[in-house]
């Protein structure tokens, strides 16, 4: 397992047999939970070794940590992918959830759960398609919701900072004492403008986001058409969607797959930042709600919203 230092990727490595557990830790800055902070959250991959030492590796995107942990869980199931505290909280949350389950399900409900578990297995065979669909939906939602004023402001700051750097370089050759200040402050503001992630770039723009979403959706539509038994529209085809439908049936809110899907959509639509959920539900919501919001909860995307 390759690990990074603060500045250098894949700088260290450890053997799997020396790893006690590996898990995600998210450091939140002010405004992080609301999504309003410039540097809202910093995700870390924490690797604890059997000798008691620990190394935290910072990542730029939290989704990368999630994919890393999913791969570790798949290839090395003997390595725990939660902290001890996380395992305890997960067990408590699971116990509370199971307390809401109906004890004796009908034969129709049992058959529906079996059908959904089969569908989840099909989607999990190529989880990369579901992950790309979720990720592209998040990216498109984020870019679409950026206020154009912020883009223009960030671009203006970047251009002014670049001009300051150029002026500083010119004054260096003129032996001006203040040239270093223009270069340093110009570079600092250029980095600040880029770190806001609101400036349009080759990949961070609406056209690119739309292209990525269209490609991810097309791939999933092909996958769904080639694999019978997935009871949700391609734009919502994700294992977390299936998990929430199974939960609806186990809680006695529906017996058929179709009804479970409708109830799941309504419950997902009702969830907002005022609703408190478990960590498991939070992970599910973060994965699939952007897809539902992007598509307006529509099943047929050929119809106008």
d(CA 265, CA 288): 11
125, 215: one domain = yes
The backbone torsions φ and ψ at residue 63, rounded to the nearest 5 degrees and listed phi first, read -60, -30
Strand residue runs (E) in 95-180 = none
Q: How many domains does the chain have?
A: 3
141, 153: one domain = no
Q: What is the pLDDT of residue 202?
A: 66
68, 177: one domain = no
pLDDT by residue for the chain (305 residues), tens only, comes to 888 776 677 778 889 999 999 999 887 544 444 434 334 568 889 999 999 999 888 887 777 888 888 889 889 999 999 999 888 988 888 888 888 899 889 999 999 999 999 999 999 888 889 989 999 999 898 888 877 787 778 888 888 989 999 988 888 888 787 888 888 888 888 888 777 677 767 677 888 889 999 999 999 999 999 988 899 999 999 999 999 999 999 999 999 999 999 999 999 999 887 777 777 788 888 889 999 999 999 998 887 65
Pairing status of strand 12-13 against strand 2-3: antiparallel
Contacts 24+ apart (CB under 8 A), 152-160: 154/193, 154/196, 154/198, 154/199, 155/193, 155/199, 155/200, 157/189, 157/192, 157/193, 158/189, 158/190, 158/193, 158/194, 158/199, 160/189
| DSSP code of residue 36 | -
pTM reported for the whole predicted model: 0.70
Pull the structure tokens for residue 27. 């450091």
Q: Which of 81, 98, 119 is the last residue of a domain?
A: 81
Q: What is the pLDDT of residue 91?
A: 87
Q: Domain of residue 151: give its range.
A: 147-195
Q: What is the CA radius of gyration of the chain?
A: 23
Please enumerate in sequence order all residues whose Cβ is within 8 A of that of 213, keeping only pairs 6 or more positions apart, or say none.
136, 137, 139, 140, 294
110, 217: one domain = yes
Q: Which of 81, 111, 136 is the last residue of a domain?
A: 81
266, 133: one domain = yes
Q: What is the pLDDT of residue 97?
A: 83
Q: Which of 39, 61, 81 is the last residue of a domain?
A: 81
Half-sphere exposure of 186 (CA within 13 A, CB side): 17
Angle in degrees, 0-180, between the axes of helices 107-125 and 239-250, rounded to the nearest 10: 170
50, 75: one domain = yes
137, 248: one domain = yes
Pull the structure tokens for residue 84. 């001890």
Q: What is the pLDDT of residue 123?
A: 92
Pull the structure tokens for residue 137. 């939906």
57, 176: one domain = no
b/e map 234-264, b = 16+ CB within 10 Å: bbbbbbbbbbbbbbbbbeebbbebeebbebb
């Amino acid at each position: 397992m390759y690990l990074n230092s603060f500045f250098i990727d894949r700088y260290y490595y450890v053997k799997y047999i020396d790893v006690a557990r590996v898990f995600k830790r998210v450091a939140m800055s002010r405004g992080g939970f609301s999504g309003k902070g410039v540097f809202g959250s910093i995700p870390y991959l924490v690797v604890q070794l059997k000798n008691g030492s620990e190394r935290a590796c910072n990542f730029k995107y939290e989704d990368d940590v999630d994919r890393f942990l999913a791969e570790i869980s798949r290839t090395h199931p003997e390595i725990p992918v939660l902290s001890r505290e996380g395992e305890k909280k997960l067990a408590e949350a699971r116990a509370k959830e199971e307390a809401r389950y109906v004890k004796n399900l009908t034969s129709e409900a049992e058959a529906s759960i079996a059908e959904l578990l089969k569908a989840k297995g099909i989607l999990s065979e190529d989880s990369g398609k579901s992950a790309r669909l979720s990720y592209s939906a998040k990216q498109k939602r984020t870019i679409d919701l950026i206020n154009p004023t912020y883009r223009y402001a960030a671009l203006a700051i970047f251009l002014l900072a670049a001009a300051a750097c150029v002026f500083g370089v010119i004054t260096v050759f003129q032996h001006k004492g203040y040239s270093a200040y223009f270069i340093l402050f110009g570079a600092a503001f250029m980095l600040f403008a880029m770190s806001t992630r609101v400036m349009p770039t080759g990949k961070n723009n609406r056209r690119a986001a739309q292209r990525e979403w269209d490609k991810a959706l097309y791939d999933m539509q092909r996958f769904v058409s080639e694999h019978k038994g997935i009871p949700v529209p391609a734009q919502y085809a994700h294992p977390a969607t299936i998990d929430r439908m199974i939960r609806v049936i186990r809680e006695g809110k529906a017996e058929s797959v179709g009804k479970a899907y409708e109830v799941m959509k309504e419950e997902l639509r009702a969830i907002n930042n005022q609703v408190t959920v478990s960590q498991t539900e939070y992970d599910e919501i973060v994965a699939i709600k952007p897809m539902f919001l992007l598509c307006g909860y529509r099943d047929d995307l050929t119809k106008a919203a």
